[in-house]
Amino acid sequence: MKISYKWLGELLDIPESPEEVGALLTATGLEVEGIEEVETIKGGLKGVVIGKVLTCEKHPDADKLSLTTVDIGAENILSIVCGAPNVAAGQMVVVAPIGATLYPTGSEQPLVMKKAKIRGALSEGMICAEDELGIGHSHEGILVLSTDLPVGTPAADYFGLQSDHVLEIGLTPNRADAASHVGVARDLRAVLQREIKLPSVDAFSVTATTLPIDVSVEEPEASPRYCGVTLTGLTVKESPKWLKERLEAIGVRPINNVVDVTNYVCHELGQPLHAFDAAKISSGKVVVKTLPEGTKFTTLDDQERTLSATDLMICDGDIPMCIAGVFGGKTSGVSSETTAIFLESAYFSPAWVRKTAQRFGLKTDASFRFERGTDPNLPVFALKRAALLLVELAGGTIASGVIDLYPNPIQDFQVPVSYKNVDRLIGKKLDRSLMHSILESLDIRIENQTDLGFLAVVPPYRVDVQREADVIEEILRIYGFDQVELSASMSSDFLSDFPLNDPDKLRLRCGELLVGNGFFEIINNSLTRPAGQDMLSDELLGEPVQILNYLSEDLSVMRQTMLFTGLETVAYNVNRKQSDLKLFEFGKTYHLVGEKYVEKTHLCLFMTGQKQAETWQGKSEELEFHDLSGAVQQVLATMRMRGVETEDCSSKIFQSAISYILHKKPIVQFGLVNPALTKKAGLKIPVWYADFDWDFLLKQYNAMVQFREVPRFPEVRRDLSLVLEKSISFDQVKKVANRTEKQLVKEVNVFDVFEGAALNGKKAYALSFLLQDSQQTLTEKVIDKTMQRLMAAFEKELGAIIRK
């Protein structure tokens, strides 16, 4: 929301700078997100002054140029070459001396005045035309002034230019009361203890009732208060300069004097208004009501809209003219031919306006205020304020008394407040008179005061102050949060504890890791068909959770595994020619174990198709087990899993797979999905699948990080080739190595595997060992002894043959 600093200054004495005002408002809770200087003319004519032409002679080398001397009140008289045909001695003119910057009309680039020579003559500035100053479009000649102002007077003073500053306030939804200049001024009044100067409406009077209009409200719940007045003899025209500048400063486009007045009052007081062309109210009667479902209505933006039976409308009898509190109609608005208007000011139900605005997707200045709650006591005052402005700016007369339909006045909120609770919540005992003064400056009356507390009577426009805590908050925000000293009683031990292992952060971290590796996240329904799960019933935990009133057989049970819903997603994409997939899903499985219901959280990965698209740089390759394994390893590394052991996985889910075990419990199973299961999902391609026990991973995650110094002594690599039985895995080799030499073996890696007829049904591993001692440099003697121990262990425990 934009607030004009100059406009505020008319409502309240503010010697403080815009920055100081911004800091004060932010401290009260109206956060100022930015302050921007707004100039009537770009650049504000800074450096441009009034001057007098002393002499004017024709340039000897150019017929259309003149040599002038100009007095601008400086120490030296300026020599300026001028090309205007109307320049003459004795004229008062506008001069841009060297160093001044102009923003000419229609030019995107500024013009900076520099010393120049024109046809051999010195020129120390420019005598300006309207377009060169940016104040008009005329370039027929220089601007000749009729003024008694002394030379050297800033041109901005002559033209009455005053820059404004606009404060951009990040208005929270609960502070509807501050959605106007008066609303913001109220907070400043409370902080600065100064009086607000509201505009006077004492001059409002009705000399003759020449245009009476009958008004009725058929939906009092939707429109608790509805007011109106008519004006005649209006001339619709362009608004005066001050009004256009005021609206443009806050980002409102001027239209004409009638519409501009309604916008001005809305942003001044916070009360939306609407003007109807009285000549277009053919029935002579304004009715506030709803219309039948499906009624068509064309709004100001030329859009035909279909009304609901719950949309409140302002009607000409039965003909809709305006969506109440939201948007006007195309046919009833003010035009250049309008001479009489019916001016509306109302309090509409926030709930009714909100539903209608959201249904049509319309967000207007009026709906913004009505759906948050306006002041039900303001419509008549705003109506009179606007009527007086229209009389002044459009030459009209007030042609009826104020119509005010308010059958059930909205009462003030009455909130009992205990001094004990004020002191407890603020954390500091405030002077009672100061407390009362703050509330009264916010229009909150103090009644029934006792030694224990008082009754706070809150005006209805403060829709956010209806509880004792709200009243205390009002006291504190004006008193100042910074003035409350932190004490032992206000320590943070009462705040909620934050877990060391935050599940949401860990999930986000893993998700970002997978996305960075080309995965896409999927979210599937937890309801599924029983057919697929029946194939794995002897492996899945417990029994399926049945849905009592299921919509279809496909949604009749809760999933016991995330495999089948994931395969359905894979099939959906493959059937649409998206066959290269890397997907992941965080989700839950549901189990009936005995009489208990169990939920388990999983992270599942699905991969199928090519590693990458084929390009001129290389051919595409099918995804393999090691691609899935790499992703699994990265997740485990992110979750800081150490000491993981490998086992073969014999699950029916997989054709071939392995499990990673920690503390004798599987944390992930991954491999190639059983073709019978992929076929069940309508897939004819291989799918790689990994299933993490996410709950177990979270429990094992250690947020504490230990650091150790990087060893100063070098590591040494030694290679070894072993011939082993095919049944012996690399993991077994690695375990033997680590068990045999715990101190020096830092890493074991296999870099080649060979199988062939020459090995008689066996296989050969080419292994590399990284050896390092953190205390000293390894000698050849120590290295040889270590390798001899490793080879002996391989021969003894694994039956290995050492290849030379």
Mark the binding-site residues for Mg(2+), compressed into ranges: 464, 470, 473-474
Looking at 577-725, list the stretches that DSSP marks H as alpha helix, in order from N- to C-terminal side.
Answer: 625-638, 675-680, 694-700
Determine contact, residues 397/438, Cβ cutoff 8 Å: no
Q: How is residue 545 written in tokens?
A: 């959770």
Q: State the pairing for strand pair 654-662/645-648.
A: antiparallel
**What does the block give as tokens for 224?**
């608790």
Rounded-to-integer distance, Cα 479 and Cα 555, Å = 59
What backbone phi and psi angles, to 5 degrees, belong to 248?
-60, -35
Q: State the DSSP H helix or E strand holding residue 111, giving kind and residue range, or none if neither.
A: strand 111-112
CB-based contact 256:264 (threshold 8 Å) = no
DSSP calls for 670-694: EEEEPHHHHHHTT--S--EEEEEEH
Q: How far apart are CA 74 and CA 71, in angstroms?
A: 7
**Other Cβ atoms closer than 10 A to 804:** 4
Tokens representing residue 197 in the block? 């100067």
CA–CA distance, 364 with 471 (Å, rounded to integer): 30
Q: Would strands 92-97 and 49-58 be described as parallel, antiparallel, or unpaired? A: antiparallel
Indicate the burial class of 717 (C-beta count within 10 angstroms; 0-12, 13-18, 19 or more): exposed
Question: Is the four-CA dihedral 124, 130, 134, 137 of positive or negative sign?
Answer: negative
Longest distance between any two alpha carbons in the chain, whole Å: 120
Instruction: Please tell me the distance from the alpha carbon of residue 206 to that of residue 398, in angstroms, as a whole number.
Output: 6
* Consecutive H or E run containing 657: strand 654-662
- In the annotated binding site, the residues are 464, 470, 473-474
The answer to whether the beta carbons of residues 498 and 446 sit under 8 Å apart is no
Q: Pick left, alpha or beta for residue 152 (phi over 0 → left; psi -120 to 50 → alpha; otherwise beta).
A: left
User: 178 pairs with which residues across the strands?
Assistant: none
Report how far residue 682's alpha carbon sits from residue 672's, in angstroms, rounded to the nearest whole number: 16
Amino acid at the residue 66: S
Rg (CA), the chain: 41
For 630, residues 6+ apart whose C-beta sits below 8 A from its C-beta are none
Per the DSSP assignment, residues forming a β-bridge with 235 are none
SS3 letters for 489-537?
Answer: HHCHHHCCCCCCCCHHHHHHHHHHHHHHCCCEECCCCCEECHHHHHCCC
Token pair in block for residue 217: 């409200």
Separation of alpha carbons 17 and 469, rounded Å: 33
The 8-class DSSP code of residue 610 comes to: B
Closest CA to 170 of 266, 30, 37, 7: 30
User: CB atoms < 10 A from the CB of 491, how many?
Assistant: 9
The CA distance from 288 to 315, in Å, is 6
- Going by their DSSP bridges, the two strands 581-593 and 520-521 should be labelled as parallel
